[in-house]
């Protein structure tokens, strides 16, 4: 295959991955209501408490990818994701930032950490995602993380919405969203590099797109469950 043909094939593959943005959870009705300032404090609290279950499982998902990955260079770079969420020390990292957000919306750390508010649909979706990372080929698990391609725009819109419509939340405790504005593009560049280098056959590329589609289903299902549980506002 010529270099030009290979480039064209890669471009088509990347376009197929990016096309999954049409299924991203920023288009879910719950998210749209959030960004329009139409959620009650109880709904915001429900979202924060349930989303924490996702946040605290991300390092486990990433550890599963590292455990299955035979490439030392990929493992080294992927480790940064765990550090970003767990933090290099106590009181640091994305999970800590999310706990501070929980306190800012009126929840206690205890009630968030003990998962008393986590609804079954959220638990099922998040557990399925961790299981996917543990049991599927590691490159597919990497591909599933490429929702980060779409995350920076969502984070920017969410920040603006929270600052405009939910002034009862201390803006200083929106640090998680601000951090992801730079972390998500960095992480998605690396993941896209890995996937485009490793997925060369039509079958491998189709599996990668399917993995990303699955991750979109996970995020959408989480919002379905939260929206149903807190629909009364």
pLDDT of residue 1: 53
Q: What is the DSSP secondary structure assignment for residue 146, as one 8-state letter? A: G
User: What tens digit of pLDDT does each residue of 41-79 get?
Assistant: 999 999 999 999 999 999 999 999 999 999 999 999 999
The backbone region for 115, taken as left when phi is positive above 0, alpha when psi lies in -120 to 50, beta otherwise, is left
Q: Burial, 3: exposed, middle or buried (Cβ in 10 Å; 0-12, 13-18, 19+)? A: exposed
Are the C-beta atoms of residues 100 and 173 closer than 8 Å to each other? yes
pTM of the model: 0.94
Which residue in this structure is represented by tokens 């493992």? 75
How many domains does the chain divide into? Answer: 1
Q: Helix, strand or coil for residue 186?
A: helix
Dig out the tokens for 112 from the structure.
Answer: 């968030």
Give the percent of the chain with pLDDT over 70.
96
How many whole angstroms separate alpha carbon 115 and alpha carbon 92?
A: 21
Residue 88 C-alpha from the chain's centroid: 20
CATH number of the domain where residue 58 is located: 1.20.910.10
Q: Which residues of 153-178 are buried (b: 16+ CB within 10 A; e: fewer)?
A: ebbeebbebbeeebeebeeebbebbe
State both tokens at 182: 């730079």
Cα–Cα nearest to 207, from 114, 151, 137: 137
Q: Name the residue range of residue 151's domain.
A: 3-229
168-179 confidence digits (pLDDT tens) = 999 999 999 999
């Amino acid at each position: 295959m010529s270099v030009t043909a290979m480039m064209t094939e890669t471009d088509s593959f990347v376009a197929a991955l990016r096309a999954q943005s049409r299924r991203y959870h920023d288009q879910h009705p719950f998210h749209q209501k959030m960004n329009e300032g139409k959620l009650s404090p109880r709904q915001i609290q429900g979202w924060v408490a349930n989303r924490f279950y996702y946040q605290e499982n991300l390092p486990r998902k990433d550890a599963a990818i590292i455990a299955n990955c035979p490439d030392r260079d990929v493992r080294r770079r992927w480790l940064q994701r765990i550090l970003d969420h767990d933090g290099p020390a106590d009181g640091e990292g994305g999970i800590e930032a999310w706990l501070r957000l929980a306190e800012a919306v009126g929840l206690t750390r205890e009630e968030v950490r003990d998962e008393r508010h986590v609804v079954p649909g959220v638990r099922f979706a998040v557990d399925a995602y961790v299981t996917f990372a543990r049991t599927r080929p590691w490159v597919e698990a990497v591909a599933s993380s490429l929702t980060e391609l779409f995350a920076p725009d969502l984070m920017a819109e969410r920040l603006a919405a929270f600052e405009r419509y939910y002034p009862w939340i201390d803006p200083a405790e929106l640090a998680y969203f601000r951090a992801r504005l730079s972390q998500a593009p960095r992480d998605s560049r690396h993941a896209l590099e890995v996937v485009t280098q490793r997925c060369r056959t039509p079958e491998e590329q189709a599996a990668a797109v399917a993995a990303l589609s699955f991750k979109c289903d996970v995020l959408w299902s989480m919002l379905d469950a939260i929206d149903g549980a807190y629909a009364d506002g």
